[in-house]
């Protein structure tokens, strides 16, 4: 659809105002939020990540694209969460220590809320101690860790090991995701699961919870 391509292009070009306006137009055309996210926003950020990995764009351009997507997400979120059922489960979510990126994490949070989960968002640069403190206070069934920079992947491994050593047992499932994360890495890090995008993360979460 033309409007989805316009959203896609506005993110690639880092045009936040256009992305916000086009996203509203897509909703006005009765395109469902999940389709806007999967076919336009996710696709655009995957392309941005690919260009970044090939050194065809650099961090400022990637962050500009992320801000554009965030502006579009702000239009979608009320429509995603307003009719959601509740009580599916509780997710503690954050971007790991040393990583300041939050667009992917915010998208996961929004989609999980829309799927009926309670989401406790710890934000960015989350230490292993902060994860543990929140888990002890909130008693979640799920933990989500996001990393965009490959240099912060060791912090994912360290955080998972720390949580398990500190008594967070196997009833609390740990999911990982982000541009440099792979299924292989997730297994090596001893995570309970890996998802390449927000939609897959919801399916994984429900599977882990036996739903």
Q: For residue range 103-123, what is the model confidence (pLDDT) as tens digits?
A: 889 888 888 887 889 999 999
Between CA 115 and CA 88 the distance in angstroms is 8
Please give the order of strands across the beta sheet that includes 142-146: 117-121, 89-95, 142-146, 173-177, 193-194
Question: Given pLDDT bands bounded at 50, 70 and 90, which one contains residue 176?
Answer: very high
Per-residue pLDDT at 172: 96
Based on the domain organization, do 21 and 42 belong to the same domain? yes
Per-residue pLDDT at 143: 98
Based on the domain organization, do 29 and 123 belong to the same domain? no
Based on the domain organization, do 35 and 77 belong to the same domain? yes
Q: For residue range 114-172, what is the model confidence (pLDDT) as tens digits?
A: 788 999 999 999 999 999 999 999 999 999 999 988 899 999 999 999 999 999 999 99
Based on the domain organization, do 77 and 93 belong to the same domain? no
Based on the domain organization, do 66 and 125 belong to the same domain? no
Per-residue pLDDT at 119: 93
Residue 148 structural domain: 89-208
Per-residue pLDDT at 83: 56
Based on the domain organization, do 75 and 110 belong to the same domain? no
- Its pTM stands at 0.76
Residues with Cβ within 8 Å of residue 151, at least 6 apart in sequence: 98
Average pLDDT of the residues in 56-65? 86
Q: Which of 140, 151, 77, 143 has its CA nearest to residue 107?
A: 77
Task: Report the number of distinct structural domains present in the chain.
Answer: 2
Based on the domain organization, do 36 and 124 belong to the same domain? no
* Of 81, 99, 119, the domain-final residue: 81
Q: For residue range 74-84, what is the model confidence (pLDDT) as tens digits?
A: 999 888 776 55
Per-residue pLDDT at 11: 94
Per-residue pLDDT at 80: 77
* Of 25, 50, 81, the domain-final residue: 81
Based on the domain organization, do 188 and 155 belong to the same domain? yes
37: CATH: 1.10.1240.10
Based on the domain organization, do 107 and 189 belong to the same domain? yes
Based on the domain organization, do 70 and 103 belong to the same domain? no
* Of 54, 81, 108, the domain-final residue: 81
Per-residue pLDDT at 84: 56
Based on the domain organization, do 123 and 160 belong to the same domain? yes
Based on the domain organization, do 42 and 74 belong to the same domain? yes
Instruction: Kindly give the residue spans of alpha helices, DSSP state H, lying in 55-176.
Output: 59-81, 103-114, 128-138, 153-165
Per-residue pLDDT at 79: 82
Per-residue pLDDT at 103: 80
For tokens 């002890």, what's the residue? 136
Between CA 136 and CA 50 the distance in angstroms is 38
pLDDT-above-90 percentage for the chain:
60
174: CATH: 3.40.50.280
């Amino acid at each position: 659809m033309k409007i989805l391509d316009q959203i896609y292009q506005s993110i690639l070009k880092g045009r936040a105002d256009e992305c916000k306006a086009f996203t509203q137009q897509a909703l006005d055309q009765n395109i469902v939020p999940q389709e806007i996210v999967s076919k336009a926003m996710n696709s655009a950020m995957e392309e941005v990540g690919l260009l970044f990995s090939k050194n065809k764009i650099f961090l400022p351009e990637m962050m500009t694209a992320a801000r554009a997507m965030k502006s579009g997400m702000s239009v979608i979120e009320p429509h995603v969460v307003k009719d959601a059922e509740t009580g599916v489960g509780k997710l503690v979510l954050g971007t790991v220590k040393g990583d300041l990126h939050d667009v992917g994490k915010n998208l996961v949070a929004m989609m999980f809320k829309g799927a009926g989960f309670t989401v406790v968002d710890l934000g960015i640069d989350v230490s292993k101690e902060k994860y543990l403190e929140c888990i002890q206070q909130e008693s979640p069934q799920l933990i989500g860790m996001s990393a965009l920079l490959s240099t912060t992947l060791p912090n994912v491994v360290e955080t998972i090991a720390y949580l398990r050593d500190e008594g967070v047992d196997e009833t609390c499932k740990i999911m990982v995701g982000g541009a440099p994360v792979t299924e292989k890495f997730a297994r090596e890090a001893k995570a309970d699961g890996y998802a390449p995008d927000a939609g897959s993360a919801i399916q994984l979460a429900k599977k882990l919870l036996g739903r």
